[in-house]
Amino acid sequence: MYCISLIDRTNLSSAAIAGMNEDLMLLGDRYSILVLLFFITYTLLQPLATIILRRVGPRPFLAGICFSWGVVMLGHGFVNVWWAMTPLRVLLGAFEAGFFPCCLYLISTWFSRYELHRRYSFFYLIGVLASGFSGVLAYGLMQMDGLSNYRGWRWIFIIEGIITMIIACVGYFTIVDFPDRSVEKSWNFLSERECQWVIRKISADRDDADIDKFDFKKWATSGLDPKVWGFALIFCFVTTTSYAVAYFLPIILRGMGFSVAASQLLVAPPYVMACIMMMIVSWFGDKYKTKAPILIICSTLTIVGLIIMGFTTSIGSRYFGVFMVAAAANTNLPTIMAYQANNIRGQWKRAFCSATLVGFGGIGGIAGSLRPGIYATITCNSLVIIIVALLSVHFRRCNKKADQGLLIIEGLEGFRYTI
């Protein structure tokens, strides 16, 4: 489902070079406006999504919103003027808003802190592969051009919308619930004894397996913790780069002189590299219980890749820069998810942080949709390095005080920050 959600939100670029720009007269900033409209509702509606998830349950909620955005995606294929697509982009953002933060929150309730990086990476890896091969899929669907008198770009939206609805129906029967109620509310995933083992494991790791009754004040006061916003800003700056690549890479490759077909197909290799790097790094991060050095190194690699991509003249060198940017920026995404999850505790704080993290990612998506430019994305990655360095200094001081018995971190004796 996450795989298809990424394809559905980023297939606009594939449709753009397949004739949509000409048919809908997407002149000037109209294309960027369509991308931007998605992120407005996507960002604004995320904070409440994790609350609804807890009340309604993952299975009906996630499957329901997935089916809904599939219907909206299908509608993209039937618009005849560019402004008719604007309400569809708003609706697409609204329905997709709850999916990613709820998935992060749900995964975090099933695994201990030093199991999360690999799980987040595997989860995100599927989406990255989807981004990489969405161009290949789009190219295949473009070959339907003229079938039933519909242009190829329309078939991209129509077929992918239908696929989304089918996946949503399958998801309704296969998505699992939270470990504390998985036996009653899910298909036969784990026995009651196995669920209790998961709960005991989480309790031993961070003592927050049990869910308290929802208290809006307790949920909202999570926002008073400065590090929550530090994590959110890091995610925002990282997603600015990753979304810029996702939305504009086919167009960038086209500008390098590649044909439409080559531009679609050459999107895949950098994302394959990203997947390999992501899994290696996540294994290292969990094994050695470290996150900050990974974020700093990957941000540095992203900056170098952006410079190569933007300021060299050789096509081969620029494409190598694309590899570096796609691999390093996408590796940073599950790393910051795990960095955040490792350094907070409490079910409702976890729910709040998942929403703010992805919400700020939506802001990064807005920036990434507006052709942020090489200098802006270099600045974003430089800010990631600065914020991570500041958090590391703070965490190290807190851990030292906790070791001396002068401080209890996150309300739990023995809890230490991951650096």
Q: Answer with the residue of higher pLDDT: 122 or 255.
A: 122
- What is the structure's pLDDT at 183? 58
- What is the structure's pLDDT at 75? 95
Q: pLDDT at residue 371 above 60?
A: no
pLDDT in tens, 195-212: 888 888 888 888 877 777
- What is the structure's pLDDT at 184? 58
Asked if residue 374 lies in contact with residue 306, where contact means CB atoms within 8 angstroms, the answer is yes
Domains and CATH numbers, the chain: 2-178+227-411 (1.20.1250.20)
What value does the mean pLDDT take over residues 125-140?
Answer: 76
Residue 63: which pLDDT band, with cuts at 50, 70 and 90?
Answer: very high
Q: Answer with the residue of higher pLDDT: 372 or 323.
A: 323
- What is the structure's pLDDT at 186? 56
Residue 39: which pLDDT band, with cuts at 50, 70 and 90?
Answer: confident
Determine which of 70-74, 181-185, 375-379 has the lowest per-residue pLDDT on average: 181-185
Q: Answer with the residue of higher pLDDT: 348 or 189.
A: 348
